[in-house]
Structure 1
């Protein structure tokens, strides 16, 4: 079994999606790129709704859990409290057949 972990995160952001919001997310994306244990992150948004999400690939569960705790606190600090998340094991052998970017 792989040590790689997927973290699937969904949240509701009721604020306006302004240029300031996007600039803040650009800064956040750059800081996430430097986080230990994060291999990649995909950002998602359901157009026309307040629903945003992310899917991350982590090197292992320890890195994921450390980051998860910090990130949920950060989201709560800016007023985001409606959060749903799931942690998954990566089935590497099958994923490689389908060209998954496993790092």
Structure 2
């Protein structure tokens, strides 16, 4: 197993999903891109709903745990409710076969 970890997070937003809200995610993305230990993040949204998701690849469990604690508080402070929050190990050999974007 890899020391890298996947964090899969699904959320809902209590307010309307407006262009202004979506524009604000760009600022958040720039902030997240600078966080230590995050190798990448994929953002998802279920069209026509207030449901969102994120899948991250972290360099280590320690990096993930540090970021996770801060980020869950940040999400709560802006009205985002976490529906599910899972941390996964990576099955590297089979992931490589299916071209997973894992970092060395």
Same fold (TM over 0.5): yes
Structure 1 Cα separation of the partners of residues 82 and 43 of structure 2? 17
The TM-score, its normalising length taken from structure 1, stands at 0.94
Which secondary structure state, in structure 2, belongs to the residue aligned with residue 69 of structure 1?
A: helix
CA–CA separation in structure 2 for the residues paired with 1:12 and 1:90? 26
Number of equivalent positions: 103
User: Which moves more between the two structures, 16-25 or 2-11?
Assistant: 16-25
Q: How far did residue 81 of structure 1 move?
A: 3.0
Structure 2 match to 1:26: 26
- 1:10-63 Cα shifts (integer Å, max 9, x gaps): 011121222221221000011111111001000011111111110000011000
Pairwise CA distance, 1:79: 1.8
Distance 1:93 1:80 in 2: 35
Quote the residue 2:9 is aligned against: 9
* TM-score, length-scaled by structure 2: 0.93
Kept after mapping to 1: 8 A contact 2:40/2:58: yes
Match of 2:62 in 1: 62
Q: CA deviation at 1:86?
A: 0.3
Distance in 2 (CA, whole Å) between partners of 1:82 and 1:3 is: 25
Give the unaligned 5+ runs of structure 1.
none
The CA RMSD over aligned residues, in Å, is 1.1
Distance between the aligned counterparts of 2:49 and 2:17, measured in 1? 11
